[in-house]
A and B are shown apart, each in its own frame.
Chain A
Amino acid sequence: DARVTQTPRHKVTEMGQEVTMRCQPILGHNTVFWYRQTMMQGLELLAYFRNRAPLDDSGMPKDRFSAEMPDATLATLKIQPSEPRDSAVYFCASGEGGYSPLHFGNGTRLTVT
């Protein structure tokens, strides 16, 4: 089965360090989403791309977070500088748009100490 691939699976870093998370969406999917999951907030939408163009990043702290799609096979989410409150599981999901479901990767668990 085709699946969304995220790397790394786990990341532990110190406050102030840069963190880059990567996602390979399912081939042929034209929408890519980044979500953050915490116990307190649940699944929060951070950013959303369609055909590699950013459409909605209103859920993302602009001063430290950035999301890009250098090409159709790679999406990145970067945090610089990282803070302890950024500790969460970050999920990437891709889809075909319209009335079709998103397919999620298994996430990157980020711990910022």
Chain B
Amino acid sequence: GESVGLHLPTLSVQEGDNSIINCAYSNSASDYFIWYKQESGKGPQFIIDIRSNMDKRQGQRVTVLLNKTVKHLSLQIAATQPGDSAVYFCAENHHLNSGGSNYKLTFGKGTLLTVNP
């Protein structure tokens, strides 16, 4: 079946560097994508999202890029801080009807980001 997967299970960066976390998806019907951050003992926390009619969206220190041609999603974190250390998940949203009101969110396996001081 179709699935969401991550290229890198772990990523280690130095404090202050930029981080890039990648995600591949295979469901061409997915039209909404979300990045989540999960810290130990907590639930996934929403970071940023993007609809399939966009290829870039920026937030505070984070940018999500979407390349529909190769079905690739990335999360860029600028000036990475120790507090950014966590597992990052991409999720794809496959709407079950054309009205967009029912959807099924599928998660990738996650990437562990470690920020070294």
Q: Name the residue on B nearest A56 (C-beta).
A: B104
| Docked pose: A101 CA to B49 CA in angstroms | 7
Chain B residues closer than 8 Å to A102, beta-carbon distance: 34, 46, 105
Residue on B with the closest CB to A102?
A: B105
Tell me the bound Cα distance from A65 to B38 in angstroms.
Answer: 26
Q: Please state if B104 and A104 are interface contacts (CB–CB under 8 Å).
A: no
B43 at interface by CB-CB < 8 Å? yes
Q: Which residue on A lies nearest to B47, using beta carbons?
A: A101
B42 within 8 A of A: yes
Instruction: Give the shortest distance, in Å, between B90 (CB) and chain A (any CB).
Output: 11
Interfacial residues of chain A within 1-53, with CB under 8 A of chain B in the complex: 4, 33, 35, 42-43, 45, 48, 50
Mask of B75-106 contacts with A, CB within 8 angstroms, 1/0: 00000000000000100010010001111111
Q: Which of A71-113 contact B (CB under 8 A)?
A: 91, 93, 97-99, 101-107
Q: Which of B45, B51, B106 contacts A45 (CB 8 A)?
A: B106
Contact A91 B44 (CB under 8 A): yes
Bound-state Cα–Cα, A27 to B96, Å: 24
Least CB distance from A95 to B in Å reads 9
Residue of A nearest to B31 (CB): A99
B102–A104 CB distance below 8 A: no
Nearest CB of A to B96, in Å: 8
- List the interface of chain B (C-beta within 8 A of A): 32, 34, 36, 41-46, 49, 51, 89, 93, 96, 100-110
